[in-house]
Amino acid sequence: MTGADEALRDLAKAYGVHLGFHDLQGHEHAAAPETLRALLGGMGVAADTPAAVAEALEQLRVRQDESPVPSEILARAGAPLSLPVPSPCDWMLLDESGAEVQAGRAGESIDLGPMDVGYFTLHVAAPDRHAESLVLAAPAHAPTVQDLTGRAKGWGVCGALYGLRSGHNGGLGSYGDLPAALRALAQAGAQFFGLNPIHALGWTAEEMTSPYSPTHRGFFSTDHIAPRAGLGPTPRDELIDYATYRRRQRGALHSEYLRFEAAPEAERRAFQRFRAEGGARLDTFAQFEALSALHGEDFRNWPDALRRPGPDAARAAAEDVEFHQWLQWRAETQIDAAQATAREAGMDFGLYLDLAVGARPGGAEVWMHRDTIAQGVTIGAPPDHLNPEGQSWNLAAHAPARLRAAQYRPLRAMLRKLMAKAGILRVDHALGLLRSFWIPDDGSPGGYVSQPFESLLAVIAIEAARARCLVVGEDLGLVPDGFRETLNGAGLLSYAVWQYETAADGTLCDPKDLRAFSLACFGTHDTPTLRGFWYGQDIDWWQRMGWLNSGQTRARHDERARQRAGLRDMCHLPPEAGPDRIAEAVQARLCTAPSALVALQLDDLLGCLEAQNLPGTVTEHPNWRRRLPVAVDGLKQALPASRIRAFMPVDRSGTV
């Protein structure tokens, strides 16, 4: 290895780029020099030549030597903190509004008194230097089930919002359908209703159906807005026709907006307050949506002058900005009404929302935050036994150093918006808080980049404490040692999917062995339903896709037969038990888990066979298109409280 190679590796390590990784088989993959250069370039660090690498290393050294305090400080809210300094200095601590909360003269250390939960800026001034640090004053942990309810355990139901049927949604489940669904679930004893992500997909993203590929995660999908006049009953078809629905629903919303000038004065004032409170962030998002109607959903194809927010973009979008602000107001008003209904019906948590991993590279979130987004890379997964070439999820990544320099404001705003609407927030692919796999656009092999894990957890805990919101971290996959312990220590529940929790022989473990500080479920939108699992529907799909040959298919069906036999014994199921009896027994057994939360799938409660999503497919499987077999006004009869409550054991504190 040459000196230039070693310097490149040193620079990569300084910026958190991993020098290699181990795959599922334990084989090591060393990061090639082109990977290191591409990932550094994505962060805005020039590393194309030895001279550029040397200059970047020198800049790092100078910044470290010149600053008397770290650029970021993690503190425990309510506790004092002492920071050593190399020489006497004056210091001042400001809160988020810029008001001074503490100040002093330091000799050998800056001694900060107890701080409230929140974000602070520490200014340090010495004769020869000045520095500024972000102070993250986090609570001991994010709120727990016990903190929020006074009980040790709780349970709820997860389902697809888009799949709800009603007499008025016209084809796609709407925010207006949620109150009826929430009341029915609350009557059955559920404490939450978990939804697929409801992030904004983009007004002009007419072909987009995946809720995990949003244009911006800090705004809401307009597809689910219920027009006041309604759109008629959901079609009888099992699959959603998004194109037909969107034409009807968007036309109805346009017409409603044109009549809004005649709306009651109280409504018009409420909308103006919403616009004022949304501020520049709402203005800029609405500008993007308006511009997308003129130039397409991907801003990378727009005229050069419009590829960044600014005066040119504001002028070009001006005519339709208010319409897109109005859409967000309508969405948030209906979501808030649904959450209010859940609380009134007695739900401890109500809505359980989902935070996707990232946003589309050509979407609003990237357009609005170019200063923090990594350029020339997307988030993905490394090569493994299922995908020898690896996967690109076509989602943008925030560059760690840039996000830190922006004091995590994009993440803070996003979390604050979502947590204000829900009692629980699920963080998809929580492993991304520790490290993410970046795929360079130039074709170089991908590699891992470390994230500021402790700082991100502090931001989540701060926002969760302020909103009194429970947080679940979806921690499936290759989990590094100590990750779950750190996640749980910050107050985030883990995610325990029973059909993935197996013994050495492949049989499912007893739910009593599932992790206590977790949300336990039998499956998710990405797995087979309970009925599909029992009958091997997922295995048949894999064979249909060509992912399994005949021998592999037989082997998987043999393993599934052993799993069924184990479940029969565990759940005391007789050989003649039918599908409904099997489903009830398995769900009842799941509810014996010691987990803080248990989630039942609405698809399973209604006896559905097919899964909502088949990972690794786009058009080959009808992902995100399956409707539920029962309308929301029929859920009360389809989910009798007496039957569901029979699943739920009473814990020592009396929780059902």
Integer Cα distance of 9 and 15 in angstroms: 10
One domain, residues 76 and 128: yes
Pairing relationship of beta strands 129-138 and 72-76 according to DSSP bridges: parallel
One domain, residues 80 and 55: no
CB 556 within 8 A of CB 548: yes
One domain, residues 76 and 60: no
One domain, residues 104 and 57: no
Residue 535 structure tokens? 């009958």
**Complete DSSP assignment for 571-612:** HT--TT--HHHHHHHHHHHHTTS--SEEEEEHHHHTT--S-S
Residue 540 structure tokens? 């048949």
Locate all alpha helices (DSSP H) within 503-597, ordered by sequence: 530-534, 537-544, 550-571, 579-590
Q: Tell me 17's DSSP state.
A: B
Note the pLDDT of residue 235: 97
Q: Which of 138, 155, 180 is the last residue of a domain?
A: 138
**Residue corresponding to tokens 């003649």:** 576
Q: Which long-range contacts does 620-625 make (Cβ < 8 Å, 24+ apart)? A: 620/545, 621/541, 621/545, 622/239, 623/209, 623/210, 624/160, 624/162, 624/196, 624/209, 624/210, 624/211, 624/240, 625/162, 625/209, 625/239, 625/240, 625/242
For 265-276, b/e burial (b = at least 16 CB within 10 A) is eeeeeebeebbe
Average pLDDT over residues 572-591: 93
Classify residue 132: in a domain, yes or no. Answer: yes
Classify residue 491: in a domain, yes or no. Answer: no
One domain, residues 82 and 131: yes
CATH of the domain at 77: 2.60.40.10
Per the structure, the count of domains in the chain is 2
Phi-psi region of 189 (alpha: psi -120 to 50; beta: other; left: phi over 0): left
Dihedral angle, C-alpha 636, 639, 641, 646, nearest 10 °: 180
CB atoms closer than 10 angstroms to residue 138: 27
Q: Which of 32, 66, 100 is the last residue of a domain?
A: 66
Q: Which of 118, 138, 158 is the last residue of a domain?
A: 138
Q: What is the pTM of this model?
A: 0.94
Classify residue 170: in a domain, yes or no. Answer: no
Average pLDDT over residues 593-606: 96
Residues 6+ apart with CB under 8 A from 343: 350
Classify residue 586: in a domain, yes or no. Answer: no
Note the pLDDT of residue 655: 47
One domain, residues 86 and 55: no
Note the pLDDT of residue 33: 93
Integer Cα distance of 493 and 518 in angstroms: 4
Q: Which long-range contacts does 237-241 make (Cβ < 8 Å, 24+ apart)? A: 237/627, 238/626, 238/627, 239/622, 239/625, 239/626, 239/627, 240/162, 240/163, 240/171, 240/172, 240/624, 240/625, 240/626, 240/627, 241/171
Kindly state the percentage of the chain with pLDDT values over 70. 96
Note down the domain range covering 130.
72-138
Give the closest residue to 38 by CA, choosing from 8, 4, 7. Answer: 8
Integer Cα distance of 202 and 299 in angstroms: 12
Classify residue 227: in a domain, yes or no. Answer: no
Note the pLDDT of residue 384: 52
Residues 168-226: pLDDT tens digits?
999 999 999 999 999 999 999 999 999 999 999 999 998 999 999 999 999 999 999 99
Classify residue 92: in a domain, yes or no. Answer: yes
Note the pLDDT of residue 420: 97
One domain, residues 23 and 49: yes
Give the closest residue to 185 by CA, choosing from 621, 606, 549. Answer: 606
Residues 383-423: pLDDT tens digits?
654 444 567 789 999 999 999 999 999 999 999 999 999 99
What mean pLDDT value characterizes the chain? Answer: 93
Classify residue 83: in a domain, yes or no. Answer: yes
Note the pLDDT of residue 339: 98
What is the helix (H) or strand (E) element at residue 61, kind and residue range?
helix 50-66
Angle subtended by helix axes 311-344 and 265-295, to nearest 10:
130
Residue 223 structure tokens? 């597809």
One domain, residues 50 and 102: no
Residues 331-352: pLDDT tens digits?
999 999 999 999 999 999 999 9
Integer Cα distance of 588 and 337 in angstroms: 32
**Is the Cα torsion angle 387, 393, 397, 400 positive or negative in sign?**
negative
Average pLDDT over residues 487-500: 96
**Is the Cα torsion angle 301, 304, 308, 314 positive or negative in sign?**
negative
Among 123-137, 185-199, 306-320, 363-377, the least confident range:
123-137
CB 496 within 8 A of CB 515: yes
Q: How confident is the model at residue 234 (pLDDT cuts 50, 70, 90)?
A: very high
Give the closest residue to 651 by CA, choosing from 471, 524, 512. Answer: 512
Q: Tell me 187's DSSP state.
A: H
CB atoms closer than 10 angstroms to residue 346: 13
**Residue corresponding to tokens 């565990």:** 570
Q: How confident is the model at residue 2 (pLDDT cuts 50, 70, 90)?
A: confident
**Residue corresponding to tokens 């006004």:** 633
Note the pLDDT of residue 225: 98
Note the pLDDT of residue 202: 97
CB 443 within 8 A of CB 397: no
Q: How confident is the model at residue 653 (pLDDT cuts 50, 70, 90)?
A: very low
Classify residue 431: in a domain, yes or no. Answer: no
Residues 523-563: pLDDT tens digits?
999 999 999 999 999 999 999 999 999 999 999 999 999 99
CB 164 within 8 A of CB 628: yes
Give the closest residue to 328 by CA, choosing from 296, 303, 364. Answer: 364
Residue 5 structure tokens? 């190679």
One domain, residues 48 and 83: no
Phi-psi region of 223 (alpha: psi -120 to 50; beta: other; left: phi over 0): alpha
